[in-house]
Amino acid sequence: MPKKRSGGGLSPTQQAAKFLGVSVLAGAVLAGIALPAVGALGLAAKGSVESFDELPANMKTPPLSQRTTILDADGGQIATVYSRDRTVVPLKDISPYMQKAIVAIEDSRFYQHGAVDLKGVLRALNKNAQTGGVSEGASTLTQQYVKNVFVEEAGNDPTKVAQATQQTIGRKIRELKYAIQVEEELGKKKILENYLNITFFGQQAYGVEAAAQRYFSESAEDLSLEQAALLAGIVQSPSRYDPVNDEAEATKRRNTVLQRMAATGDISRAQAADAMKAPLGLKVSKPKNGCITAVKGAGFFCDFVREVFLTDPVFGKTKEQRAKIWNQGGLTIRTTMDPQSQNAAQRSIKDHVYKSDEVATAASIVQPGTGKILAMGQSRPYGFKKNETQINLSVDQSMGGGMGYQPGSTFKPIVAAAALEDGMPANKVYPSPYRMAYPSPVSACDGKRWVNDPNSPAKLQNENSSEVGPYDMREATAKSVNTYYVQMISDIGICPVTTMAKKMGVVRADGDKMPQVPSIALGTQEMSPLTMANAYATFASRGMYCTPIAIESVNRRIGDKTTSLEVPKSTCSRAMSENTADTINALLKGVVEDGTGKKAGLGSRPSAGKTGTTDERYAAWFVGYTPNMAGAVWVGDPAHKRKMVGITIGGRPYGKVFGGEVPGPIWGDMMSGALEGKPVENFNSVHIPDSKPRDRGDGDGDGGRDDGGNGDDGDGGFIGGLVGGNNGGGGDEPTPSFSIPEGFIRGQGNGGGNGNGGRFG
């Protein structure tokens, strides 16, 4: 029975035998290939040699994961993202000191031996037998490189990483065979280059370039002797020799490397002595990974780019394929983000809404005719702390956003466009009383009809009791008259409106279908700011809708080769005639010139837009555009709990918040900054005949909910809100056989819709 040393543990002989079981096996395997089998060693190795021969002939070498750089449209860096912080560099761009240091400490006979160093094995055996432990290994630099390839291939899967690093004879045999292959195919210089690029140096740094930047804020080619010795020493145990957390231990290890370099003749003893006296000289740069590090407040734009990459089939047929490319990194992604527009958006947001406010704001800017997203920002920064969030308030739920927000009267121009396309004259007049029941029946898609409940009809009203028609389309749009637009959708039917919305890319933020109810005319369906900005860009481009895009180009670097990847392209289609778009532009110019959006005007630069405020003032909007830029601003509580009544926003108190009061000025400042220095373009003029309505003033009222949102009362009660369908927007449920007093239960839905109850007949 083997004897143990006093105090427990294996004896020196047992330690040597344990080491022999792995180290000599490598020599035995090599002997089985190139040397005659001798005695017991040959017999013991027989089974191992058979396993060796069964291994695949070629090692699969996955592309090294590297950092991905996300750029703005001008080439400025927005952020870097990576699963492993690595920048691959050629050997010529790595300091000679670094090359010599890593060879000296890890494999001083690297240039003399093949894949296995039998002399090193014997030396290690002798050293470990003397010390009574396994204090020296026998793996060559090539074998270490192969092991690192296995680890790289395992990625972030802990089970696979454990398998790639387990101390078993099987793994050693596999490692050895591939080391022989690598030696034959790559040669020493390429192996050294690959090793220095793949190995882990601690502090999230993979490869020598990332390590040089992390510890010294320098490139690998500029590393000094003492710096190179420090990095080379870290490799054996990145946690133990971490200079950031244990300077003394790291210094000792660095000096060991310097002594080894002197012993191998790479440097003189005098050089080693001088270098050993030098301080570590750390100049640590913190890891800069992820969208949280984005500049210009572009964290959410950065996150949107990531979502596009992971969801668009152009980057891979399956989710797994796209994720693999993203995690491998090495990408340079040039985006559509215009730094001037992004800066202007964030500056305006910061000036008007504080991140600690009870409500938030989000804004997006899109270029008409191209679909390019120029800016995307919000008042609550990208992050994990108080008053920060990872939810992108500007986009749909499927792209990292929330459930969306009712756009209120900013939806009305879509109804008007549908009516104009249907042949309605631009000077159409409706009685437009202050208060009315929803007209009924109203035609819907597929031959269906929406029918108001005659026993408890859903009703709506305008913002102010003074808003009493008749009105024509120009004045009704400028004053955002609810009753006018409900009469309009009742005339043309619901289907033309939902069809027009689809042509303009207007969809619910949660991905659900838009219901076939007349209350959609008042903006009861939740949308995202990006959706509304891009929809209004359709008006600006004279009726051409272009799908939004955020990525201009993607270059992928694998090794020393760079290739271009295909990227999503904007597809443009005609949503309406030029004349219809020009007419809408004329109508919406009136909103900023003498209507509810006067505070959003851009002075001498022609602009158009629409205000929107929802039921109970949970959300307020301004969406507007010039011929060369369209933008949307939303203000509200993302949780839909805080009504914007008696509230302080950006240090200013407001009795009531409405679209022209808070979102409007944000939009005006944002667009002024984004358009500064850019050409002043005019809309194509179109004549709208005057219907000569009687004069009723400018309709601004008390500056309350300028558009009546979805109708404060939400009458129709139980039918209108709870039974009436999706988000307070009505539905196809039958009406109950009993009536409820008017206004007893208001139509709330998911956002306080006007509860346009009823049924389909």
CATH of the domain at 216: 1.10.3810.10
Give dist(CA 289, CA 691) in Å, integer: 61
Give dist(CA 476, CA 429) in Å, integer: 9
Locate 614 and state its tokens. 């929802």
3-state class (DSSP) for residue 64: coil
600, 603, 609, 613 alpha-carbon torsion, rounded to 10°: 20
CA angle 357, 394, 654 (to 5 degrees): 30
Point out the residues of the chain with pLDDT beneath 50: 1-55, 128, 133-137, 693-757, 759-761
Angle between helices 339-352 and 663-675 (to 10 degrees): 150
Residue 425 lies in a domain: no
pLDDT of residue 558: 82
Residues in CB range of 28: below 8 A, 6 or more apart: 41, 42, 44, 45, 48, 49
Q: Under a CB-based contact definition with an 8 Å cutoff, are residues 128 and 289 in contact? A: no
pLDDT of residue 162: 76
237, 239, 244, 245 alpha-carbon torsion, rounded to 10°: -130
Neighbours of 479 (CB within 10 A): 28
What are residue 653's DSSP bridge partners? 648
Residue 180 lies in a domain: yes
CA angle 406, 600, 344 (to 5 degrees): 90
Neighbours of 500 (CB within 10 A): 26
What are residue 460's DSSP bridge partners? 436
Q: Where are the beta strands (DSSP E) in 148-290?
A: none
DSSP class per residue in 376-424: EEESS-BSSSTT-BSS-TTS-GGGT--S-B--GGGGHHHHHHHHHHTT-
Place of tokens 């891979």: 316
User: Does an H or E element contain 46, and which?
Assistant: helix 39-54
Residue 517 lies in a domain: no
Backbone angles phi, psi at 622, to 5 degrees: -140, 125
pLDDT of residue 196: 96
Give dist(CA 709, CA 524) in Å, integer: 8
Give dist(CA 363, CA 307) in Å, integer: 18
Residue 473 lies in a domain: no
Nearest-CA neighbor of 415 among 517, 547, 522? Answer: 522
Backbone angles phi, psi at 439, to 5 degrees: -60, 150
pLDDT of residue 333: 98
User: Does an H or E element contain 344, and which?
Assistant: helix 339-352
Place of tokens 């109810």: 517
Place of tokens 């009105």: 471
pLDDT of residue 689: 84
Give dist(CA 81, CA 304) in Å, integer: 13
Strands of 449-451's sheet, edge to edge?
442-443, 449-451, 759-760
Residue 49 lies in a domain: no
Q: Under a CB-based contact definition with an 8 Å cutoff, are residues 554 and 585 in contact? A: no
Chain centroid, CA 14 distance in Å:
56
What are residue 79's DSSP bridge partners? 70
Give dist(CA 139, CA 445) in Å, integer: 73
| Domain that includes residue 200, residue range | 88-277
pLDDT tens digits, 352-401: 999 999 999 999 999 999 999 999 999 999 988 889 998 999 999 999 99
pLDDT tens digits, 439-496: 999 999 988 999 999 889 999 998 888 889 899 999 999 999 999 999 999 999 999 9
Report the number of distinct structural domains present in the chain.
1
Mean pLDDT, the chain, as a whole number?
A: 82
Half-sphere exposure of 658 (CA within 13 A, CB side): 24
pLDDT tens digits, 676-733: 999 999 999 898 888 764 444 433 333 333 333 333 333 333 223 323 333 333 333 2
Q: Helix, strand, coil: what percent of the chain each, to 5?
A: 40, 15, 45
User: Does an H or E element contain 670, and which?
Assistant: helix 663-675
pLDDT of residue 464: 83
Residues in CB range of 668: below 8 A, 6 or more apart: 599, 600, 601, 602
Residue 118 lies in a domain: yes
* Residue 759 CA: distances (Å) to CA of 404, 460, 714, 727: 26, 17, 16, 15
Give dist(CA 626, CA 539) in Å, integer: 10
Neighbours of 2 (CB within 10 A): 8
Give dist(CA 205, CA 577) in Å, integer: 56
Residue 600 lies in a domain: no
Residue 432 lies in a domain: no
